[in-house]
C-alpha cells in the first residue's frame, strides 16, 4: 500500500533525526521564567501556540471569539462576521452590564436550524440568529454535581444534593427521581473511579426520551480519611476509597422513561465484583449495550438490555485474555445502517475496529496492522466511511484517516506528519484539522473528505520567537528485550556545547494509558524541560514498555510486576545517555509524578549509584494502597499476587536510598492517597535514610493553577542544590 | 544575710565566666555520634552521667538495683546488701523463669513496717522482708487508662474502658462508679490539657477512704481530625481540641465515699468557662480545697468543699492580676498543725510561700526576695521547718534550703553550687542530695538537716572521658529593656580557634515554663549542641524574658504579644554574637522546637537578613490554633485581642521568608496540631516563598526513641547543606 510506504519512510526519518537539529544563536535573546512556561504562570497564555476556537453548524465552520463569531469559508479559509455578542445581547434584550459576556461557549446543535445555544443568566437558551429572538430556554443545571442536556428532546437530567432529577424541556417542574442518594449511594456520576473510559454517569437515549444512569452503592467501601485544613478548625472529610484486594463498590444501571415517568434497573444480576462499562444506546433508543467485566478483568462480555423492561436480551460478544481485557469504548452504530455497529478491541494485539451485526456476529475486521486506532472521530454517511485517528504513520504520530466500511481501505486525510486533532463537520464531509509537528507550533487546515483538498486556515506564530529556545531532539533505543524500539526525547541547552559535560535529568512517567514522546511541537516537551535546559541541564524522556499506543504486548509486559520492566527500559535509556560524551554520568537525576513518582523512587532505590538526585511527586509506594480498578487490572489482588506486590513495593527499598530524594504530595491527594508516601517515609526513618518531603495543603493529585509554578520552582531548586 | 553574700559572689562568678574555660587537647580523642549523644541513640545510656536509684524506708536510705537492694549508711555512704531479687522470689515461691525480674521499682511505703511494695505477676504485693512472706496483694491496675493506689487504705481507683472503678483493699469485687464515660465524658484523668499543674485525675483523701476525681465533659469541644496511617487503610482518629476563643470543655469534681458507697459532685456551680485546679485534701480527709479560676485567668479563688455533702464551705483566698494568675500548686497542710497550710503565689512578683490558717487568714509570708521557690520538697516535723528548692543562690541554680515556719529563717542545705534534686527522708531529717554543676556530671551526698553534715555517697565518672568534648561557657547580656540580665550558654568546637570565623546556630525555646541555661553539667547543654560543635559550629542559647524562674514581671513581659519581646531579647544575644570576632555574622542559623519553632520562624521572617538557615519543629504559627488553657493565659482570646493575634501570627510573614527554612512536625502532633505549619506552608506557596517541610508519620509533638536520632541527623544535615 502506497500510504504505508510513505509512512515507513517517515518513521525512519523521525527515528534517525540527530540531536543537532537547529543551530542556535542565543546572544541577546530573552530568557524564560516559569511564569512564562508553566501552566498557571502569569505569562503562560502568551507563550503557548495560538489557536482558534472552532465549532460546526452542520457543515458550516464557525470560529468563536468572545465578542463575535465568524463563518469560515472552507475553500479559502477566509472569515466573515457571523454575528456579534452585541447582536445577541440586543436579541436577548439585555444591557451591556448584565448581558451575555462571551460567545466562546456557543454551540450550533441543529444543522437545519438557524439557532445558537448559549448559557446566560442561569438559563440555557436557544437564540434564532436569523429571526433575532430567543426561541427556547431552560434553567441551567451545569453548575450542579452532574448534568446532561439532550439536544433532541431538550430534556435535562441533573444531580443535585446527591439526588437525580429530570427537568423537562417544556419548562415543567423538575421531577426528583431518587431519594436515597448520599455520599454512599451515588447517582448519575462517573463510577469505577473513571476507569474503563468512564467519565460520566448520565446517558440519554438518542431521542432524549430515556435516560440511562449509573447508581453506585459504596456504603461497603472503606473511608480514606482526608483532612480539610482550611476551616477555622481542620475538618475530617472522608473519601470512599476501595483499595486493591478490599471490598469494592457495586454499580447498577437505571433507566428513567420520560414517557411513562417510571424508573427501572437493568436486570444484570448481582453487581458484586463486576464492572459495568461503556453504556451505549441503539439508534432506536430501545436497547442498551454494556461491556460487563469481572473483577479479575480477564473476561469481558458485551450484553444488551431492553430499556423498556430492563430484561437482559443477549450476550453479543465475549473477550477473555490471559492477562486482562480493558473495554474503553462504547459500541457505535453505523449512521446509515442501524443493524450494524463498530466495536473496538485489541484482541489481535493492537486496538482495531470490528464490524458486528446486531445479533453479535462479527462481520469483519475493519482495520489491522501493527499500529493502533486511537479514536473514532466520526462517520461520513454518504461515503459510508469511518473517520479515525491512528498512529499508522509512526508510533509517535496521530493522523486522520478515512476507512471504507465496505472495503477497509484507508486513506490519509492529513499531511502525514505530526499530531493531528481533527474535528468533523455534521455530515462528515469536512475536517477542521488542527495539528502540530516538532517544528510547527500549530496549524489548522480544512480538509475536504470527498475532494481530498486541504485549505490553509490558521498558522500560529512561534510563541517563543526571540527567546533562547533549547534544542529538542528525538530518537529510539532498544528496550531491555533487545528488540523493541523505545522513543525518547532530549532537550539540551540553547547554547549546547558538546565538549562540555552536562548534568542530566531523566523525566519519567512510565505507566499505562500515557506517553511522553510524540511528534507534536518540540516533541511534546513539557515546559519545565525548557526551564531546566536554560539552567544548563540536559533532559531525557523515554517511553518505556507499558506505555500507550504501542499495542497489547508492549503494554502488558508489565503485568503483575509494575515498575520492573519499566525500570529495565529506562536503564536502556540511561545506558544511551552514558554513551554520550556530553552527559555527565556522575550527575544524573530523575523526576516524575504519580506513576512517574513511583518510577522515580524505584529507580533511585534500585539503582542508587546511578541516580544522584530525584524528585518524586504523588508516588505510588505499594500497590496495595492503590484503588481496585486500575490496581488489580495490572497487579491482580494482593491476595492473588503476593510475590508481585512484594517485588514492586518500595517499602523494603527505603533502606537502599542513597541519593537526595524529595517526595512531594498534594496533602489531600484522593488518587494516590498520602498513606503511600508517608509510609515510605516511615520506613526510611526506621532504616535511617533521609528523604526530603513536601506537601501542598488542600491540593489533590496534581498542583493546580499558580501552585504548579511554585512546585516547579521547588523541583528546579532541588536539582540546583544537589545535582549541579 | 551571710548566705546571700556568698551567693551574690557566686552569681558574679558565673556571669563573668569567660568562654576560655578549659584548654582542650583533642589529638587522638574519640568523636561523638548521634547514637552516643541523642536520646534514643544506641549508645546513649553509656554517655550520660551515672546515677543511683534511691528510695527511702522512713529515714533509711535504700539503693535499688535490678538484682538487689542496699541499705546506705548515711554517715559513711557505705552500702550493705538489704535483700536480693532471689530472696524476694524465694519468699514469693516463684521460679527464676517466671519470677519478679527487677527490684528497681520497689518502694517502702511504711516507715514502721518491714514490708516492700512490688508489682509482679499482674499483682501489687506487699512482702515482709523480715518474715520472708507476702502479706498482702491486689490485682494491679497500673497498665489501664489511669490508676491510683492509696498506701494507707490500700484501696485502688482506676479507669478502664473510660469508666471509673473502685477496687477495695480486701480483695472484694471491683465496683464500677460510672457508666457514661466515653471519648467525650472523661473520668479520672488529667483535665484542662495538663495546664495549671494538673497531671492526674484521681485524688485519694489522706486516709484513703474518699476519692476525689475529675469528670470532664468535652462533648461540646470541636474535634481535630487526626489520621492514623498505620492500619491497612488509614483511619480517622479525632481528638477533642478546644482552640483559643472556641467552646471549651466543662470540668466537675466528684467524690466517691468508700464507707457509704456513694458518689457526689462538689456543688461548685456552672462549670462553663471555669478551671478547677490543684485539688487538695484536709489532713482529716473531710474537706477538699480547689483553686478555681475564671476563663480569663485573671481571678483565682481558693474554695473549700465539704467532702461528705459536696457543699461549698468558703472562699479562703482570692488573687487577681491585671495579666493573669496561674495556680500551679495545691495547698499543703503543716504536718504538725492541721489548722495551717502553706500556699504558693507569685503575687509579690516572685513565687513564694505564705502561711494561712484554715479560715483563710494569711498569717505571714514565709519566704521573700527577688528569687523564686521552685519546689516544696517536704517538711521536718521535729524542727517545724519546710524544705524547699529555690534559685536564691543564682537565677540559674537550684538549691535546697530549710525554711523555719516560725521565723522564716532560711538555711542552705547543700553546697550552694549547681543544680540540686533533693529527696527527703520520711521524717525530713535527711536529704539525698543529687546534683550537677557545670563541671560535675553528677554527685550524690547525704545531708543531715539537723547536724548540717554532708556525707559523700556517689560520684559519677565523666561519661565523656576520652572524647573530643566541646567548650561550654555561660554568661549574660542585657535584655532589650536595657536592664534585665539574660543568661546564655555557648558551645564551641573542641579545637576552637579564635582567629577563625565559625558558622553559628542559635538554639531557642523562649516560651514560658521552661529555661535552657542553668548550672547543671555543661550548663544543661543539649547533646545535639555537642554534635554540632564537633562539626565546626558555635551554638548559642539564651533564655529571653518570658522564660521561667525569673519572677512575674520577667515572665509576663510577653503578655498578649507572644514572641515579640522574646525576639527582641534574642536579637540582643545575636548582637553579642556579632561582636565576637570568631562568629561569622554571614552564617547565623536558628533552630527550635514547639515554642522554639514559633520563635525560629518569627526570627527568620522578622530578621530575614540576619538568619540564613532555620529549622523549626512543631511550630505554633497562629495562636488561634493553639488550645484554650495555655493560649488564652498569654494571649487572651482572638476575639478580645485581635491586634495581638494579628501581630504574633506568622501567616502574614510567610512572604518575608528569605533564608532556607525547614519546618518539621509530627504528622499526628496533638499539641501543636499540623494545621499550624501546613497553613503557613499554604501562605508561603501563595506568596511564592519556599520553605522546606518534613513530617514524622505517627509521631506527636516530639519524636520519641530512635526517631529522635533520625531527626537530629536531619536537622544537622540541613545546616551542613546550607549554612556551612
Q: What does A94-135 look like in DSSP terms, one character per residue?
A: --TTTS---STT-B---TTS-EEEEEETTEEEEEETTTTEEE
Q: What is the span of the domain harbouring residue A324?
A: 172-330
pLDDT in tens, B259-298: 999 999 999 999 999 999 999 999 999 999 999 999 999 9
Note the pLDDT of residue A26.
67
Verify that B404 and B514 share a domain, yes or no: no
**Above 80 in pLDDT, residue B391?**
yes
User: Is residue B96 predicted with pLDDT exceeding 80?
Assistant: no
Say if B184 falls within a structural domain.
no
Distance CA B605, CA A472 (A): 42
B610 with B682, same domain: the answer is: yes
The domain that holds B706 is classified in CATH as 3.40.50.1820
pLDDT over threshold 80, residue A616: yes
Residue A691 counted as domain residue: yes
pLDDT at A18 over 80: no
Which pLDDT value is given to residue B99?
Answer: 85
Rounded to an integer, what distance in angstroms lies between the CA atom of residue A602 and that of residue A506? 13
State the SS3 of A191-205.
CHHHCCCCCCCEEEC
Domain-terminating residue out of B444, B459, B474: B459
Residues A102 and A197 in one domain: no
| Residue from A513, A491, A512, A488 nearest A502 by CA | A491
CA within 13 Å, CB half, B168: 10
**Could you report the per-residue pLDDT of A550-578, keeping only the tens digit for each?**
999 999 999 999 999 999 999 999 999 99
Active site residue B434: no
Residue B14: pLDDT over 80? no
pLDDT for A675: 98
pTM of the model: 0.94
ipTM score: 0.94
B530 pLDDT higher than 80: yes
Is B699 domain-assigned? yes
Compute CA distances A226 → A234, A250, A360, A618, B526, whole Å. Answer: 10, 23, 46, 15, 37
Averaged over B403-416, what is the pLDDT? 98
Q: In chain A, pLDDT over 90 holds for what percent of residues?
A: 94
Q: Is residue B218 part of a domain?
A: no
- pLDDT tens per residue across span A303-322: 999 999 999 999 999 999 99
Chain mean position to CA A679: 29
Nearest to A697 among B682, B697, B717 (CB): B682
- Domain check: are B586 and B684 in the same one? yes
Residue of B218, B233, B687 best to disrupt the A interface, most CBs of A under 10 A: B233
In degrees rounded to 5, what are phi and psi of residue A248? -105, 175
User: Active site residue: A669, A676, A708, A712, which one?
Assistant: A669
pLDDT tens per residue across span B195-231 = 999 999 999 999 999 999 999 999 999 999 999 999 9
Rounded to an integer, the average pLDDT of A184-195 is 98
Share above pLDDT 70 across residues of chain A, in percent, rounded to a whole number: 96
The answer on B500 and B444 residing in a single domain is no
Q: B6 pLDDT band (50/70/90 cuts)?
A: very low
B85 lies in a domain?
Answer: yes
Residues A325-380 have pLDDT tens digits of 999 999 999 999 999 999 999 999 999 999 999 999 999 999 999 999 999 999 99
Subunit contact A673:B246, Cβ cutoff 8 A: no
- CB contacts of B697 in chain A (<8 Å) are 678-679, 681-682, 685
CB atoms within 10 A of CB A156: 25
The minimal CB distance from B236 to the residues A225, A624, A673 is found for: A225
Strand partners, B193: none
Using alpha carbons, select from B282, B248, B245, B289 the residue that is nearest to residue B266: B289
Whether residue A41 has pLDDT greater than 70: yes
C-alpha–C-alpha distance, residues A569 and A603, integer Å: 11
Give bridge partners of residue A275 from the DSSP assignment.
A293
CA dihedral A707, A711, A714, A716 (to 10 degrees): -130
CB contact under 8 A, A681 and B690: no
Q: How confident is the model at residue A27 (pLDDT cuts 50, 70, 90)?
A: confident
Q: Are A697 and B678 an interchain contact pair (Cβ–Cβ within 8 Å)?
A: yes
What is the number of helices (H) and of strands (E) in chain A?
12, 44
Question: pLDDT confidence of B128, banded at 50, 70, 90?
Answer: very high
Say what the pLDDT of residue B2 is: 36
Nearest-angstrom CA–CA distance, B590 and A543: 45
Evaluate whether B519 touches B549 at the Cβ level (below 8 Å).
no
Number of domains in chain A: 3
Q: Which residues contact A612 (CB under 8 A, 6 or more apart)?
A: A586, A587, A588, A589, A659, A660, A722, A723
Confidence of residue B95 (pLDDT cuts 50, 70, 90): low
Nearest-neighbour CA in chain B from A622: distance (Å)? 12
A673·B234 Cβ contact <8 A: yes
Percent pLDDT > 90 in chain B is: 94
> How far apart are alpha carbons B196 and B274 in whole angstroms?
12
Q: Which DSSP helix (H) or strand (E) runs through B676? A: helix B675-687
Catalytic one of A594, A602, A649, A708: A594
Q: Do A212 and A91 lie in a common domain?
A: no
- In a domain, residue B575? The reply is yes
Of A329, A378, A351, A389, the residue nearest A198 (C-alpha): A329
Nearest one of A441, A490, A443 to A467, comparing CA atoms: A441
Residue A539, helix vs strand vs coil? strand
Buried b (16+ CB within 10 A) or exposed e, B205-235: bbbbbbbbbbbbbbeebbbbbbbebeeebbb
Catalytic residue among B518, B543, B622, B669: B669
The predicted structure's pLDDT at residue B23:
47
Residues A70 and A44 reside in one and the same domain: no
In the predicted model, is pLDDT for residue B16 greater than 50?
A: no
Catalytic annotation on A194? no
Residue (of A616, A627, A592, A631) closest to A680 by Cα position: A616
The grid coordinates of residue A342 equal: 463498530
- CA torsion angle A627 A630 A636 A638 (round to 10): -20
- How many Cβ atoms are within 10 Å of A84's Cβ, its own excluded? 14
Is the separation of the CB atoms in A54 and A63 below 8 Å? yes
Neighbours of A252 (CB within 10 A): 18
**Neighbour count for residue B649 (Cβ, 10 Å):** 20
Q: Cell triple for residue A443?
A: 496549524
Q: Does A425 map to a domain?
A: no
The residue among B241, B657, B695, B696 with the most chain A CBs within 10 A of its CB, best to mutate, is B695
For position B127, which CATH number holds? Answer: 2.140.10.30
The pair phi, psi for residue B501, each rounded to 5°, is: -115, 125
- The whole-number average pLDDT for the span A688-715 is 96
Specify the 3-state DSSP secondary structure of A368. coil
- Antiparallel, parallel or unpaired: β B332-334 and B312-320: unpaired
Q: Which residues contact A307 (CB under 8 A, 6 or more apart)?
A: A205, A210, A212, A255, A257, A281, A285, A286, A287, A288
Question: A172: closest CA among A139, A208, A205?
Answer: A139
Could you give the CA distance from residue A272 to residue A256 in angstroms, rounded to a whole number? Answer: 23
Residue A25: which pLDDT band, with cuts at 50, 70 and 90? low
**Minimum distance, in Å, between the CA of residue B507 and any CA atom of chain A:** 22
- Given a cut of 60, whether residue B258 has pLDDT beyond it is yes
- Is there a single domain that holds both residue A224 and residue A125? no
Using 50, 70 and 90 to split pLDDT, how confident is the model at A96? low
- Is residue A669 domain-shared with residue A707, that is, in the same domain? yes
Q: Does A701 qualify as catalytic in the annotation?
A: yes
> Distance, in angstroms, between B546 CA and closest chain A CA?
28
Residue of chain B nearest A678, judged by CA positions: B697
Same domain, A267 and A145: no
Beta strands B175-176 and B163-167: pairing type?
Answer: antiparallel
Beta strands in A194-243 (DSSP E): 202-204, 210-217, 223-224, 227-228, 235-236, 239-240
Nearest-angstrom CA–CA distance, B251 and B186: 9
Q: How far is A141 from chain B (nearest CA, A)?
A: 32
Residue A550 shares a structural domain with residue A694: yes
Report pLDDT for A14. 40
Testing the interface with A: which of B661, B675, B722 to mutate, by most A Cβ within 10 A? B675
* Cα A123 to chain centroid, rounded: 30
pLDDT at B571: 98
In the predicted structure, residue B10 carries a pLDDT above the cut 70: no
Asked whether residue B9 carries a pLDDT value surpassing 90, the answer given is no
Residues 6 or more apart whose CB falls under 8 angstroms from that of B706 comprise: B40, B41, B42
Q: Domain boundary at B413, B438, B459, which?
A: B459
The whole-angstrom distance between residue A141's C-alpha and the CA centroid of its chain comes to: 25
Strands (E), B370-453: 373-380, 385-390, 399-404, 410-412, 419-424, 430-437, 440-448
CA B61 – CA B77 distance, rounded (Å) = 10
Write down the mean pLDDT value for chain B. Answer: 95
Cβ–Cβ gap A233/B246 under 8 Å: yes
Residue in this structure with the C-alpha cell 499482674, named with its chain if needed: B122
pLDDT at res. A99: 85
Of residues A52 and A25, more confidence is placed in A52
CB contact under 8 A, B679 and A697: yes
B382 in any annotated domain: yes
Residues β-bridged to residue B655: none
List the grid coordinates of B422: 533533693
Strand ranges inside B464-577, DSSP E = 471-478, 485-492, 502-507, 538-542
Residue at which a domain ends, from A119, A136, A160: A160
Q: State the Cα–Cα distance between residues A251 and A190, nearest whole angstrom.
A: 10
Q: Which of A241, A674, A685 lies nearest to residue B707, judging by beta carbons? A: A685
Q: What is the largest CA-CA distance in chain A?
A: 78
Residues of B within an 8 Å Cβ radius of A: 222-225, 227, 229-230, 232-236, 238, 241, 243, 246, 624, 667, 673-675, 678-679, 681-682, 685, 688, 690, 692-698, 707, 710, 713-714, 717, 721
Considering the domain architecture, whether residues B74 and B160 belong to the same structural domain is answered as yes
Range name among A195-199, A264-268, B138-142 with the lowest pLDDT average: B138-142
Amino acid at each position: 500500500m502506497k500510504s504505508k510506504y510513505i509512512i515507513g519512510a517517515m518513521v525512519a526519518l523521525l527515528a534517525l533525526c540527530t540531536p543537532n537539529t537547529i543551530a542556535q544563536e542565543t546572544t541577546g535573546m530573552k530568557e524564560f521564567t516559569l511564569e512564562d512556561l508553566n501552566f498557571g504562570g502569569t505569562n503562560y497564555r502568551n507563550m503557548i501556540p495560538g489557536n482558534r476556537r472552532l465549532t460546526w453548524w452542520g457543515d458550516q465552520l464557525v470560529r468563536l471569539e468572545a465578542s463575535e463569531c465568524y463563518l469560515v469559508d472552507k475553500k479559502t479559509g477566509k472569515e466573515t462576521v457571523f454575528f456579534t455578542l452585541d447582536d445577541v445581547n440586543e436579541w436577548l434584550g439585555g444591557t451591556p452590564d448584565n448581558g451575555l459576556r462571551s460567545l466562546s461557549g456557543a454551540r450550533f446543535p441543529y444543522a437545519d436550524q438557524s439557532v445558537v445555544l448559549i448559557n446566560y443568566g442561569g438559563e440555557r437558551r436557544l437564540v434564532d440568529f436569523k429571526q433575532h429572538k430567543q426561541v427556547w430556554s431552560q434553567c441551567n443545571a451545569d453548575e450542579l454535581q452532574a448534568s446532561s442536556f439532550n439536544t433532541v428532546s431538550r430534556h435535562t437530567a441533573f444531580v443535585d444534593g446527591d439526588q437525580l432529577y429530570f427537568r423537562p424541556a417544556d419548562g415543567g417542574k423538575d421531577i426528583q427521581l431518587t431519594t436515597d442518594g448520599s455520599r454512599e449511594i451515588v447517582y448519575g456520576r462517573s463510577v469505577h473511579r473513571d476507569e474503563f473510559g468512564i467519565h460520566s454517569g448520565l446517558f440519554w437515549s438518542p431521542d432524549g426520551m430515556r435516560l440511562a444512569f449509573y447508581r453506585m452503592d459504596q456504603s461497603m467501601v472503606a473511608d480514606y480519611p482526608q483532612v480539610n485544613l482550611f476551616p477555622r478548625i481542620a475538618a475530617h472529610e472522608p473519601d470512599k476509597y476501595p483499595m486493591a484486594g478490599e471490598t469494592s463498590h457495586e454499580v447498577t444501571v437505571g433507566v428513567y422513561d420520560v414517557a411513562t415517568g417510571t424508573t427501572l434497573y437493568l436486570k444484570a444480576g448481582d453487581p458484586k465484583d463486576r464492572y459495568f462499562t461503556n453504556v451505549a444506546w441503539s439508534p432506536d433508543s430501545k436497547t442498551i449495550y454494556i461491556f460487563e467485566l469481572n473483577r479479575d478483568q480477564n473476561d469481558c462480555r458485551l450484553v444488551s438490555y431492553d430499556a423498556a423492561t430492563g430484561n437482559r436480551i443477549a450476550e453479543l460478544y465475549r473477550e477473555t485474555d490471559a492477562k486482562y481485557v480493558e473495554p474503553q469504548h462504547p459500541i457505535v452504530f453505523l449512521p446509515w445502517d442501524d443493524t450494524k455497529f463498530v466495536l473496538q478491541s485489541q484482541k489481535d494485539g493492537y486496538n482495531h475496529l470490528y464490524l458486528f451485526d446486531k445479533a453479535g456476529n462479527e462481520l469483519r475486521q475493519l482495520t489491522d496492522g501493527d499500529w493502533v486506532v486511537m479514536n473514532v472521530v466520526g462517520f461520513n454517511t454518504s461515503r459510508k466511511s469511518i473517520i479515525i485517528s491512528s498512529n499508522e504513520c509512526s508510533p509517535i504520530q496521530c493522523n486522520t484517516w478515512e476507512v471504507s466500511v465496505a472495503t477497509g481501505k484507508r486513506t490519509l486525510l492529513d499531511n502525514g506528519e505530526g499530531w493531528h486533532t481533527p474535528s468533523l463537520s455534521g455530515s462528515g464531509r469536512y475536517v477542521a484539522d488542527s495539528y502540530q509537528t516538532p517544528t510547527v507550533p500549530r496549524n489548522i487546515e480544512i480538509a475536504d473528505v470527498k475532494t481530498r483538498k486541504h485549505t490553509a486556515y490558521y498558522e500560529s506564530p512561534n510563541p517563543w520567537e526571540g527567546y533562547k529556545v533549547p534544542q529538542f531532539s528525538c530518537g529510539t533505543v532498544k528496550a531491555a528485550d533487545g528488540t523493541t524500539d523505545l522513543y525518547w526525547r532530549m532537550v539540551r541547552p540553547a547554547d549546547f556545547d558538546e565538549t562540555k559535560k552536562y548534568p542530566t535529568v531523566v523525566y519519567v512517567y512510565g505507566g499505562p494509558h500515557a506517553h511522553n514522546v510524540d511528534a507534536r511541537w518540540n516533541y511534546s516537551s513539557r515546559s519545565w524541560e525548557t526551564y531546566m535546559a536554560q539552567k544548563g541541564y540536559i533532559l531525557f524522556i523515554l517511553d518505556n514498555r507499558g506505555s500507550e499506543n504501542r499495542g497489547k504486548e508492549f503494554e502488558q509486559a508489565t503485568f503483575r510486576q509494575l515498575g520492573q520492566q519499566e525500570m529495565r527500559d529506562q536503564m536502556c535509556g540511561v545506558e544511551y545517555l552514558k554513551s554520550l560524551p556530553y552527559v555527565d554520568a556522575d550527575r544524573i537525576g530523575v523526576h516524575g509524578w504519580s506513576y512517574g513518582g513511583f518510577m522515580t523512587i524505584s529507580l533511585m532505590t534500585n539503582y542508587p549509584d546511578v541516580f544522584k538526585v530525584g524528585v518524586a511527586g504523588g508516588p505510588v509506594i505499594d500497590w496495595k494502597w492503590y484503588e481496585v480498578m486500575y490496581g488489580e487490572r495490572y497487579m491482580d489482588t494482593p491476595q492473588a499476587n503476593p510475590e508481585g506486590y512484594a517485588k514492586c513495593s518500595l517499602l523494603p527499598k527505603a533502606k537502599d536510598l542513597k541519593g537526595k530524594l524529595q517526595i512531594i504530595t498534594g496533602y489531600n491527594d484522593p488518587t494516590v492517597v498520602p498513606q503511600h508516601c508517608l509510609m515510605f517515609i516511615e520506613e526510611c526513618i526506621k532504616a535511617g535514610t533521609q528523604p526530603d518531603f513536601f506537601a501542598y495543603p488542600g491540593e489533590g493529585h496534581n498542583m493546580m493553577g499558580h501552585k504548579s509554578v511554585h512546585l516547579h520552582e521547588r523541583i528546579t531548586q532541588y536539582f540546583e542544590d544537589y545535582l549541579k
